Chain A
Amino acid sequence: MQILEAEAAAEGLALAREHQPDVVVLDLEAESADAAAIRDEFSQQTRGRAKSVIVLGKIRRGPVFAGGHVISKPYHFAPLVHTIEQLAAKAA
């Protein structure tokens, strides 16, 4: 599994556009910017594969982000890792 890291949402979005990942894990609380907008952008980016965006933190499911996974904080890592592996396997 190849893992790409970004420290900020903008950076992450650029990476996502370039590499078209199978799974995106998005920590919304680390961003001070508009969480909903970022989430929507990422959903659009993984168009058709909205279910492969995992959002960490609190979020309201908006019209664009209908599917996808939300894991509230604080979370345990084992379930998160498991979910990532599952989603990656599905996309493959």
Chain B
Amino acid sequence: MATLFVLQGRDKGKRYDLREANVSLGRDHHCVVQVSDNEISRRHAEIRKDEQGYRLVDLGSSNGTFVNAEQVTERRLVNGDRVQLGRTLLLFTDADDRAEQPLEHGVDIVGTAAVEGSRIVKSVSHEPGSQLFAGDPADSPWLAAARSNLQLMYRTALAVSHTLDIDQLLARIIDMIFEWVEADRGCIMLIDHESNELTPVASRSRRGQSADQRIAISRTILDYVMERKEGVLTSDAPADDRWKSESIAALGIREAICVPMQGRYGVVGVIYIDTYTPPDRVLLAKPTNRFSEEHLKLMVAIGHQAALAVEDTSYYSAMLQAERLAAIGQTIATLSHHIKNILQGIRGGSYLIDEGLKADDNDVVRRGWRIVERNQERISNLVMDMLTFSKEREPELVAADLNETIGDVAELMKPRAEEAQVTLHWQPRTDLPPFQFDPDLLHRAILNVMTNAIDACEKREGARVEVSVEWSPGEQFVHIVVADNGEGIAEGDLKRIFSIFESKKGARGTGLGLPVSQKIMREHGGDIRVESTPGAGSRFYLELPAHGPQSIRSAETITMPTVS
């Protein structure tokens, strides 16, 4: 069965079900579809039903009949056609195309009669709605208060929610709506990006209402709201005073507000709320409309804000997701690369051992073994760095001897320094008190910086790495200084050396060393600073709080964009 819905004109909001075989349209009150429009004839047109569908026939009207802005004498109507008679615009829908869609939230989008006779009382577009915050002196005290609290409530809700989950966000928004507007039922529907259909995401009934009653929303109203981007207030109470009419008494009055959720980029969905005045209340007194234009204005503003919030969550979470995937992808690629190189090294050593054993040549075997050992060390460092990097770890602070920790690292680095022909010089200080730090973590932090220093000046003339401690009693920080006379770091690169996986050492560097060291120092409440002169050398200052952790800065492993 088809329906005519009045979109424009004095009868705006009215719906007519085309039950009869012939439906007359005109000014005359005998017409099935009586249109109060001076520019249409008494009997203006007719819609005739036949086996193929519906045909619109002009009955010789004075001003003509138009379908989709084209004048016609006769035209077969299809779903969605716009029929214009005089100043009245009607929408023709063929309900057969729009089957009822039962949806999980108890919301049905219907093409026909369930929302019989609702007319649009008022419509408000986005513009006035967003001006809500600017305020209007003519606003009632209620609206003024609502307005002044709306922004605050949104900020609070979003801040408190900590959630990027759209469902939770919308549930909160609908709760807020119920606090501010006396609705009986409400639901928020979002456009599903795959099907392009409106899908209910959150719904709610006020306590005391029959929760099993499904919300039936007219599709034509939804289409209207979505296309025109206007919020509408509908009521199925007739314009004139027919309170004593039986049908009203039997059904009560339902008022509804449906607003678009218009964001920055487009409409993301709709918010629907309604109230129901039962027949007994209708009969007791002439009830004033429970929904007013002010409610509509407020809802339009809420719809706008909700859309912004939804856009923020879905775009933001999509962005985060993309970033995470990209970061994971890069991590896997880089790690595989390093592991592959190490494996290659082990194969080299193994080959020598093999050949050496075959030829009974111990020197060859030993050479091979050294290569295998070195690569074991490399893999061990890689794994340790990965672990340190990935854990959000509280350092286990103990009172420990800084000289001893640094000395251990220097001892470990001696063979590497020798191989690289670098003079490694570590000067312990005799007047150091014990400090609070995690010896294992600090060991790793210093090791990575020292490794870097040695690599930086490898095989250069007079290559030298100096390690020392700078401290005086009463100072907030103690500094472990690693200075090299290597190639230095360009000004623009100074920050980048602490980003993960950016290594300038080609196949050898893992790119994890310095970021890990920085993370460790920050977890201790300190940091790493670097001064460098390209061509002359660099100085790394590992900063450790002298009196225990004061401000523990959180070490962020991935820089994330901030939520505005």
- Say whether A and B bind each other: yes
Enumerate chain A interface residues (CB-CB to B < 8 A): 29-30, 32, 73-78, 81
A-B residue pairs in contact (CB < 8 Å), sample of 21: A29-B507, A30-B506, A30-B507, A32-B506, A73-B340, A73-B344, A74-B340, A74-B343, A74-B344, A74-B347, A75-B344, A75-B347, A76-B347, A76-B351, A77-B347, A77-B348, A77-B350, A77-B351, A78-B351, A78-B354, A81-B351
Residues of A within 8 A of B351 (CB): 76-78, 81
Nearest B residue to A78, CB-CB: B351
Nearest A residue to B352, CB-CB: A77
Residues of B within 8 A of A29 (CB): 507
A73 to B348, CA, bound (A): 12
Residues of A within 8 A of B506 (CB): 30, 32
Nearest B residue to A81, CB-CB: B351
A74 to B340, CA, bound (A): 6
Residues of B within 8 A of A75 (CB): 344, 347
Nearest CB on A from B370, distance (A): 16
Residues of B within 8 A of A78 (CB): 351, 354
Q: A29-B507, A30-B507 are in contact. List 10 more A-B contacts (CB 8 A).
A: A30-B506, A73-B344, A74-B340, A74-B343, A74-B347, A75-B344, A75-B347, A76-B347, A77-B351, A78-B351
Residues of B within 8 A of A76 (CB): 347, 351
Report B351-371 CB contacts with A as 1/0, cut-off 8 Å.
100100000000000000000
Residues of B within 8 A of A74 (CB): 340, 343-344, 347
A76 to B506, CA, bound (A): 22
Residues of A within 8 A of B340 (CB): 73-74
Residues of A within 8 A of B507 (CB): 29-30
Residues of B within 8 A of A73 (CB): 340, 344
Residues of A within 8 A of B354 (CB): 78
Report B72-96 CB contacts with A as 1/0, cut-off 8 Å.
0000000000000000000000000
Q: Of residues 486 to 526 in B, which have CB atoms within 8 Å of A's CB atoms?
A: 506-507
Nearest CB on B from A69, distance (A): 17
Residues of A within 8 A of B350 (CB): 77
Report B329-356 CB contacts with A as 1/0, cut-off 8 Å.
0000000000010011001101100100
A75 to B506, CA, bound (A): 20
A78 to B350, CA, bound (A): 10
Residues of A within 8 A of B344 (CB): 73-75
Residues of B within 8 A of A81 (CB): 351
A73 to B344, CA, bound (A): 7
Nearest A residue to B342, CB-CB: A74
A9 to B354, CA, bound (A): 30
Nearest A residue to B343, CB-CB: A74
Nearest CB on B from A76, distance (A): 6
Nearest A residue to B507, CB-CB: A30
Nearest CB on A from B516, distance (A): 23
A73 to B343, CA, bound (A): 9
Residues of A within 8 A of B343 (CB): 74
A33 to B318, CA, bound (A): 35
- Lowest 9 A-B CB distances belong to which pairs? A77-B351, A74-B344, A74-B343, A74-B340, A30-B507, A73-B344, A76-B347, A77-B348, A74-B347
A64 to B347, CA, bound (A): 31
A77 to B346, CA, bound (A): 10
Q: Of residues 419 to 439 in B, which have CB atoms within 8 Å of A's CB atoms?
A: none
Nearest CB on A from B283, distance (A): 85
Residues of B within 8 A of A30 (CB): 506-507
A32 to B343, CA, bound (A): 20
Residues of B within 8 A of A77 (CB): 347-348, 350-351
A29 to B354, CA, bound (A): 26
Report B307-344 CB contacts with A as 1/0, cut-off 8 Å.
00000000000000000000000000000000010011
Nearest CB on A from B335, distance (A): 15
A29 to B341, CA, bound (A): 10
Nearest CB on B from A77, distance (A): 3
Nearest CB on A from B382, distance (A): 15
Residues of A within 8 A of B347 (CB): 74-77
Nearest CB on B from A10, distance (A): 14
Nearest CB on B from A35, distance (A): 13
Q: Chain B CB within 10 Å — which of A74, A75, A81 has the most?
A: A74
Residues of A within 8 A of B348 (CB): 77
A76 to B352, CA, bound (A): 11
Nearest A residue to B337, CB-CB: A29
Q: Chain A CB within 10 Å — which of B340, B343, B347, B506 has the most?
A: B347
A32 to B506, CA, bound (A): 7
Nearest A residue to B346, CB-CB: A74
A81 to B354, CA, bound (A): 13
Nearest A residue to B354, CB-CB: A78
Residues of B within 8 A of A32 (CB): 506
Nearest CB on A from B349, distance (A): 9
Nearest CB on B from A72, distance (A): 10
Report B137-156 CB contacts with A as 1/0, cut-off 8 Å.
00000000000000000000
A74 to B344, CA, bound (A): 5
A17 to B477, CA, bound (A): 57
A58 to B354, CA, bound (A): 27
Nearest CB on B from A75, distance (A): 7
A3 to B350, CA, bound (A): 21
Nearest CB on A from B371, distance (A): 11
A76 to B348, CA, bound (A): 8
A74 to B506, CA, bound (A): 17
A84 to B351, CA, bound (A): 15
Q: Of residues 534 to 556 in B, which have CB atoms within 8 Å of A's CB atoms?
A: none
Nearest CB on A from B333, distance (A): 13
A63 to B214, CA, bound (A): 70
